[in-house]
C-alpha cells in the first residue's frame, strides 16, 4: 500500500462524513442524468459545503485523496462503476475497503 493510500485510509476512517457527502453529491448528479463526472468537482463541492454552508473546519481535504474516493464509490456501487473514470495505479485494488 502506498504512503498516500495509507494516509487516505486513515483520513477516511477518521472522517466518514466526507464519503457520505461524496456519495450524496454523486447520486445527485446521477439522478439528473449525468453518465460520468469529475470526482475532483465533487470534492470541490464538498469543500464548499463544509467551508461555507456548514462552516466546518474540522478537516482539510487533500486533493491526493480524490481518486481514492472515486475508486471506492465505483467499487461500492458497481451499477455506476464507470461514473468516475479512473487511471490505473500501482494501488488500484480496493478489496480491503
Q: What is the pTM of this model?
A: 0.83
Q: How far is C-alpha 41 from the geometric centre of its chain's CA atoms?
A: 10
Q: Which residue has the cell 453529491?
A: 25
Domain coordinates of the chain in residue numbers?
3-80
CB 38 within 8 A of CB 32: no
What's the confidence (pLDDT) of residue 97? Answer: 44
The string of pLDDT tens digits covering residues 29-41 is 999 999 999 999 9
Residue 94 pLDDT > 60, yes or no? no
Cα separation, 52 vs 78, whole angstroms: 32
Nearest one of 9, 11, 72, 69 to 45, comparing CA atoms: 69
Confidence band, pLDDT 50/70/90 cuts, at residue 60? confident
- Using CA atoms, how far residue 31 sits from 7, 49, 64, in Å, is 32, 19, 27
Amino acid at each position: 500500500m502506498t504512503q498516500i493510500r495509507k494516509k487516505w485510509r486513515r483520513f477516511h476512517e477518521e472522517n466518514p462524513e466526507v464519503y457520505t457527502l461524496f456519495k450524496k453529491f454523486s447520486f445527485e448528479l446521477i439522478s439528473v442524468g449525468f453518465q460520468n463526472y469529475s470526482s475532483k468537482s465533487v470534492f470541490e463541492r464538498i469543500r464548499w459545503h463544509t467551508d461555507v454552508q456548514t462552516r466546518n473546519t474540522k478537516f482539510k481535504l487533500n486533493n491526493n485523496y480524490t481518486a481514492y474516493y472515486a475508486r471506492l464509490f465505483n467499487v461500492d456501487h458497481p451499477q455506476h462503476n464507470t461514473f468516475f473514470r479512473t487511471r490505473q495505479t500501482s494501488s488500484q485494488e480496493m478489496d480491503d475497503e
